[in-house]
A and B are shown apart, each in its own frame.
Chain A
């Protein structure tokens, strides 16, 4: 059986962990779990700064929002922070409806989100 591709891909960019979502839609149970686990693994290091780029993501459900909130809390507990970028207008509307645009710092592009961490050294 072929191995499923990773839902998220993590790279290091100027001391910031840049996470790109590799699928246009996150719905299947294994996708949601892989998405959550991939992000939660980053919170194991204290003070980690993470940018999550939604470039190419056209659809998500509240399950994904739940995972994002979980990761946000875990990172915050360890002195880190999650910032979001490249959110499609339709998906941004989902964040706005649920008021999660108040909880997350959202940037238009991933490079802006990475630059926003400048001066905040990783713990």
Chain B
């Protein structure tokens, strides 16, 4: 995973936070993201899509990455600009291979209770990439006047 680009534009800086492994922390963190989207005039479709992917990435990091272990942290970094939002989420787990996550939409997997988070992130964001160990996910969603929701 390439490093974040240098923070040359102070109007839209990278924000970095270290979160405890508690689902409650997600709502606290997303408040600032949603405020920034709102201020920059992102429409309702974009806001829904970004919020969903943001929550899924953090839920995955806490639940599957950190195993809800309260001694482990999640590192969150994001940058909201008028053109796009970039979100990076890193956990302290052992990593995983995203290619090994079964397709939850097949008939045999449809009733499995897990495995939909990554699919939703990929549907709602423009790019979703994992580092080689599967411990960090990097997502981007570009702002478009015509399309805000999921990409079929």
Contact = CB atoms under 8 A, between A and B. Distances in A.
Contact of A66 (B23, B26, B114): B114
Contact of B52 (A29, A66, A94, A99): A94
B104 A98 contact: yes
A100 B110 contact: yes
Q: Chain A: interface secondary structure?
A: helix
Nearest to B116: A62
A69 B23 contact: no
Interface size class on chain A is 20 to 34
Interface size class on chain B is 20 to 34
A59 B51 contact: yes
Q: Chain B: interface secondary structure?
A: helix
B112 interface: yes
A97 B115 CA distance: 13
B131 interface: no
A105 interface: no
B116 A59 contact: no
Interface of B: 22-24, 26-27, 44-45, 48, 51-52, 55-56, 59, 63, 104-105, 110-114, 116-117, 119-120, 123, 149-150
Q: Give 9 closest A-B pairs by Cβ, nearest first.
A: A66-B113, A99-B105, A62-B116, A29-B23, A62-B117, A90-B48, A69-B113, A97-B123, A98-B116
12 contacts: A25-B27, A27-B23, A27-B27, A61-B55, A62-B56, A62-B59, A62-B114, A66-B114, A69-B111, A90-B48, A93-B150, A103-B111
Interface of A: 25, 27-29, 32, 59, 61-63, 65-67, 69-70, 72-73, 90, 93-94, 97-100, 102-103
